[in-house]
Amino acid sequence: MDFGIWNEKFAGLNSFFNSLQEQIKPYVETWKIAEQNIKNALSEYAEKTKPIRAFYILAEHQFTYWKPLSYDEVEKIINSCEVDEYLSERITDVKFIDYNILYEEMVSFELLSITNKSILQQTFKAMEAGLYDLALVGAVIVFDGVLSEVTCNVSTNISKRIADIRNKIEKMEDEEWECLEESETTALGMYITWTRTMEGFQENSAFSKPETEPKGLNRHWIVHGRKTTVATKLDCCKMINALYGLFYFGNPVLPMS
């Protein structure tokens, strides 16, 4: 075998690859810059969308919320292993939600019948007394009454009535969304958390199969007295928040289509 010929061939190939490397070098540098720019853009996007991710996490835990979240709140919600524990602490902070102010606002709504206004007043008193099972039932009853009022539908089919509200929300025009927006209100946050909360709240399952009992708030199991777990203050606050969301989207200024 003539190794000299092979050496010449390999030398030629080596020269070719060295030349090719020099030619594509500027493109490699350009790609590195583009790649870094893409990474920076994705990182910036991920950072900016953190509040939305936090709202979705609140929604998964049936916690309707409508205020802008601070950086600290967003980080703790996203990184928390026990979101309900975190929320149980936060509901005692009036800066997060002042339930006294919320109560005063809610009892003034025209959508409340005289009876439901009385039940709502008693619901808050029961919460103050630590009677959370009673308070939860009261909040669900008021919610059901207001839902029928808002949708002009007196049937007991909660899925149909909630669907009416969702259809109304989804058909809202930009001007209507703008009239919902306030300095202390995030309409998108309210929409994400309230609509997702309603998914679990309206879910139906057979009482004959106790293993199917929902872990979260569920009208079917609460109203019919089949709920087997003890209600907590957080459960009551979740239901009050959901009721406030119903008032919010059921505003008579925005007629049902």
Query: Per-residue pLDDT for 60 more than 60?
Result: yes
* pLDDT band at residue 138 under the 50/70/90 scheme: very high
185 three-state secondary structure: strand
Query: Per-residue pLDDT for 18 more than 70?
Result: no
Q: How far apart are the C-alpha atoms of 246 and 109, rounded to whole Å?
A: 11
User: 221 Cβ partners below 8 Å, 6+ apart?
Assistant: 205, 207, 213, 214, 227
Range in 37-41, 65-69, 210-214, 221-225 with the lowest mean pLDDT: 37-41
pLDDT (mean) for 149-163: 78
pLDDT (mean) for 36-56: 66
pTM of the model: 0.76
Query: Per-residue pLDDT for 9 more than 50?
Result: no
Q: What letter does residue 212 receive in the DSSP assignment?
A: G
pLDDT of residue 21: 63
- Mean pLDDT, the chain, as a whole number? 80
pLDDT (mean) for 126-150: 94
How many alpha carbons fall within 13 Å on the CB side of residue 252?
7
Structure-token pair, residue 83: 């979101």
* pLDDT band at residue 41 under the 50/70/90 scheme: very low
Structure-token pair, residue 29: 């540098």
* Percent above pLDDT 90 for the chain: 44
